[in-house]
Structure 1
Amino acid sequence: MSENRVTRDGLRGERPGRDATFGNGMAGVDGSPRRDGGRGKRRRRGEELAVPPADFTSYYGRPVIKAPAWAPADIAGYLFLGGLAGAGSVLAAGAAATGRPATARAMKVSSLGALTLSTAALVHDLGRPGRFAHMLRVIKPTSPMSVGSWLLAAYGPLAGAAAVSDLTGLLPRAGSAATRGAALLGPGVATYTGVLLADTAVPAWHEAHRTMPFLFAASAAAAASGMALATGPVAENGPARRAAVLGAAAELALTRALHRGAGLAGETYGRGAAGRLLGAAKALGWAGAAGAALLGRHRAPAALSGAALLAASACTRFGVFTAGIASARDPRYTIAPQRERLSGGAG
């Protein structure tokens, strides 16, 4: 038997009843959570909680996920140049089909140049050229990386053949077939990188997975239209001017949708370096679209408008890349959305 004694610290020797608490007082004897928050009695109306609500944290504030170890100049440049190449092949095929040979030639050459630079940036980030070849050892339709590698492997020779045939005049039929083939693969080349980013665990990219590929498509269209305005003759740039306005408007609208669709992680699109880059993309996009629509029939304004659209597309890609890296380094953007989903599922 136990003997109860009254001390300065309370009763000693008292056996615990069924309402006794263990640990931090948050659970009953049977392990079930207490309704009163572990304080032993119901909270009266107007009474403040003695313990503040729990907040998320991570081990010493370190990131929960590992940020991608990608060089910004290599990968963000690869995102921009790949989009320019793919969309440029579509415009080249359209220009060739509508009797605009100078514009078609300029876009074929620019697509080949952009593809060459983007491949060089990718290989530089990989470290060894053989690593790209290793990605072609398997075909995995569920992997954006595998699909993208095979798209590049098939698109590159077609884009090269189209440009060489147009410049040299050799094998015109084969060159026309290569132009059409590159145009068919161009949209995939321009947008698969958006799917690739959204398929990662990086919060700012993954939470916006419904918008990212469409933003990359619009950004690529604006960039390719800008290249056509900058390099093609004024007499042939009517379709490029219209495509520039539509592409720039879609890019600006989808950037706003990306910001909203990313939830809490969307804050990274409006802060720091990413916010400055996307702000510059907005200003350059509006300027390029207005110049193309109003002054695109004149050589100098058309070239300046095209340069503004190219710069806007590049700022968009670099801004999206920078925002994703920032969201991966802050544990709040990983933990808070997970808790929201868990609480929503429990409800």
Structure 2
Amino acid sequence: MTVSDFDQFRPPEPERRGRRFGKLRRKRRPGRTDGSAEMLMVPDVEFTSYYGRAIVKPPPWGPEIAAYLFLGGVAGGSGLLAYGAQLTGRKLLCRNARLGAMVAVSVGGAALVKDLGRPDRFYNMLRTIKLTSPMSLGSWILTAYSGGMGVAAMADVDRLTGSRLPLGPMRRALAKVEPVAGGVAAVFAAPLAVYTAVLLSDTANPTWNAAHRDLPVVFASSASLAAGGLAMVTTPTRETGPARALAVMGVVGDLAATRYMESRMDPVAAEPLHQGRPGRLLRWSERLAAAGGLGALLLGGNRALAAASGVALLGASACTRFGILEAGIESAKDPRYTVVPQRNRLAKRRAAGITDDSITTAG
């Protein structure tokens, strides 16, 4: 090694700890090394990813997408509730459910466009349809639902204002197509409420993908209790019987489906659902859902208490959607949630005797 007078200005080099190859770094074990104590033949290893970076890139989704997930569920559940009220002659419940659904889908659509950055990006998704893409199908579902609900809600607004909207000869045509428009919105209401669950789980995100079998059921239940809660807030108790029944069924389904979903997930992939901010949100979701469900079941005859129960149900639905969204984002940041469940699945396949495919024989 050559030296020069300039070596005194060279910064000290950090201690070299050896190279890291692949994804495993050997961890030094403290203790005796003179051979007089029992030692492991293979030292413990500590998992790290390349350069400490995440293996799966976390989605850059903020509060706009969280709001869209929640409001899409409210709109979808309210669309079904409105159509049921339409068929049974509950005009006040039908009107309020339609108006609530229209407000929810409008605000949710605006939040989605804001996240996309430019409105033309949403329009471009409607230039084609791809049956294998949840995002493509979701764009068409949102558009079809908004069109049907918009026509039905316009008829209610026209009646609410005493036929003061400047519709002219279109008023008679609007009255004729209103029932059909309500039916069209009902057809796309359930897909609108649950397609976002398919969109989340159809990814490489560890927590969302691990919940792919049951997440749509959780979102459907969450949408039901949210729609019932909104109707309990906006509608007098004499017409909220179906809304309270929908809310109670949604609460039971939400609590049961969430627990069942977690029981079928890999324990490591389910950890983000119980930790940090996502864990707090999901715990509050259970509390608010239980409180709102009991209120809908036992206190639905009192207008003030029914409205308070409805607010609790809306809060429970929002906490569910926000918590699951944030849990998935957090799971993508830690390489452990990507690799450890993969190893667990590989071990289960080998334990089941599956050893002759590319998954169990690779490497």
If the length of structure 2 is used for normalisation, what is the TM-score? 0.80
Aligned match of 1:97: 87
Contact 1:86 1:189 in 2 (8 A): yes
Do structure 1's residue 111 and structure 2's residue 101 form an aligned pair?
Answer: yes
Deviation at 1:235, TM superposition (A): 0.5
Deviation at 1:154, TM superposition (A): 1.1
Instruction: Mark the runs of 5 or more structure 2 residues left unpaired by the alignment.
Output: 1-36, 160-170, 352-363
Amino acid at match of 1:242: A
Give the alignment of 1:129-148 within 5 angstroms: 129-148=119-138
Q: 1:203 aligns with which of 206, 225, 239?
A: 206
Aligned match of 2:49: 58
Give the alignment of 1:254-269 within 5 angstroms: 254-263=257-266, 264-269=268-273
Stretch deviating more after TM superposition (337-346 or 161-170): 337-346
Aligned match of 1:84: 74
In 2, the alpha carbon distance for the partners of 1:61 and 1:245 equals 46
Contact 1:269 1:323 in 2 (8 A): yes
In 2, the alpha carbon distance for the partners of 1:270 and 1:346 equals 29
Amino acid at match of 2:293: A
Counterpart of 1:182 in 2: which secondary structure? helix
Deviations 1:254-309 (A, max 9, x none): 22223233311101001100011011111100110011111101110110011100
Deviation at 1:110, TM superposition (A): 0.5
Q: 1:320 aligns with which of 314, 319, 324?
A: 324
Q: 2:296 aligns with which of 292, 297, 311?
A: 292
Contact 1:190 1:217 in 2 (8 A): yes
Stretch deviating more after TM superposition (80-89 or 254-263): 254-263
Do structure 1's residue 150 and structure 2's residue 140 form an aligned pair?
Answer: yes
Aligned match of 1:33: none
Do structure 1's residue 329 and structure 2's residue 333 form an aligned pair?
Answer: yes
Amino acid at match of 1:97: L
Contact 1:281 1:313 in 2 (8 A): yes
Q: 2:233 aligns with which of 224, 227, 230?
A: 230
In 2, the alpha carbon distance for the partners of 1:112 and 1:129 equals 19
Q: 2:281 aligns with which of 256, 277, 284?
A: 277
Aligned match of 1:27: none
In 2, the alpha carbon distance for the partners of 1:89 and 1:339 equals 43
Deviation at 1:53, TM superposition (A): 4.1
Deviations 1:205-243 (A, max 9, x none): 001100111100000000000011111111011111111
Amino acid at match of 1:213: P
In 1, the alpha carbon distance for the partners of 2:39 and 2:284 equals 47
What's the % identity of the aligned pairs? 50
Amino acid at match of 1:340: N
Aligned match of 2:12: none
Stretch deviating more after TM superposition (193-202 or 160-169): 160-169
In 2, the alpha carbon distance for the partners of 1:55 and 1:273 equals 26
In 1, the alpha carbon distance for the partners of 2:50 and 2:65 equals 30
Deviation at 1:167, TM superposition (A): 2.0
In 2, the alpha carbon distance for the partners of 1:144 and 1:179 equals 24
Contact 1:226 1:307 in 2 (8 A): yes
Deviation at 1:61, TM superposition (A): 2.5
Aligned match of 2:253: 250
Deviation at 1:47, TM superposition (A): 6.2
In 2, the alpha carbon distance for the partners of 1:262 and 1:67 equals 20
Amino acid at match of 2:272: T
Q: Give the aligned length.
A: 301
Aligned match of 2:183: 180
In 1, the alpha carbon distance for the partners of 2:74 and 2:212 equals 21
Deviations 1:80-108 (A, max 9, x none): 00111011010001011112100100000
Aligned match of 2:5: none
